Amino acid sequence: MKHRIIIDTDPGIDDTMAIAYAIAHPDIELVALTTIFGNVSVAEATDNALALLDYFGHEADVARGENRPLVMEPKPHSYFVHGQNGLGEVEIPRSTRSETGLDAADYLIEKTKEMPGQIDICAVGPLTNLARALERDPTIAERVKSVCVMGGAVYRPGNVSPVAEANIWNDPHAAEQVFAAQWPVVLAPLDVTTKVVLSPHFFADLEEADPKVGKLLSDMARFYARFYRSHSGINGCIPHDVMALAYLTIPGVYMQKRGALATVTDGPGIGQTIFNPAGKPTVDPSWGERPQHTALLDIDAGFFAAHYFDTIAKRPTEIGD
């Protein structure tokens, strides 16, 4: 049976890479995109989600989500990373479709009631929509098949502070609620995502192999690669968000570790993701009460890159054409 997924997203260049992968992969059924602030505003994320689905020739639902964090003031959007339109300054036609009548949290609640035990939520932005869904209906945790999150930094430095990764930092209170809930969370932190760098040659070859979807990704990647070159000295770009989705299709390429997750919600360490491996004792008894989740800590980078290339290049010809 196909993986039925809802991507909670703030498109975003690497979000676009993830959406393209979900649509192209034969083992994934993309049910919906729920949108969130982060890389761009939630209004821009919703417009981008609709436009990308049209470009890719897909009719998944789009549900607009939260426009600010649960508690704290919102952080600036990441236009310097993703461009003023979130898509690397690449223009694609706006959609004439509208989003659903439900907001993202209610959509997640209703769709998991409709398909209990069948929905994988792939959250690749701040986790505010998921936290809202838990607040409104805590039993959603019993109906979700899995929650695959791109976010956090476990054993390596953050990318927005010495300890924090951007998605978690944008709403640490929401992340704490999601990590404390009794549903199966799989975390793809910077520890694993930064192991994969897709080079300009990779995207040139992808554009040649697929002049429709591959070209769009290649055009966006040029902006993304300029950011990585200037800020990190990397020759290429990191497809962070795809890592959360690929866990569903190629789990064997990841080194996985079980343990409890928590988030720092104030002070200079705000947004830090804390991981306590399963079986490691602590004096603080509260750690023993937290649910056990899965952290992805390493990956076969070469296999992943080849898999992503093949998934896009060998997509069904009716998709995106």
Distances from the Cα of 171 to the Cα of 37, 38, 242, 304, angstroms? 10, 9, 21, 29
Is 240 annotated as catalytic?
A: yes
Q: For residue 212, what are its two tokens?
A: 């429709």
Is 25 annotated as catalytic?
A: no
Distances from the Cα of 269 to the Cα of 72, 82, 124, 158, 172, angstroms? 15, 25, 21, 10, 10
Q: For residue 143, what are its two tokens?
A: 């109906």
Cα atoms in the 13 Å half-sphere on the side-chain side of 312: 29
Catalytic hit among 25, 77, 173, 240: 240
List the Cα angle 291/296/297 in 5-degree steps.
120
DSSP state letters, 126-159: -SHHHHHHHHH-TTHHHHEEEEEEE---SSS--S
Other Cβ atoms within 10 Å of 116 Cβ, number: 14
| Sheet containing strand 293-299, strands side by side | 61-63, 28-35, 3-9, 119-123, 144-150, 185-188, 293-299, 254-263, 273-277
**Residue for token pair 């989003």:** 99
Catalytic hit among 3, 8, 10, 137: 10
Please list the active-site residues: 10, 240
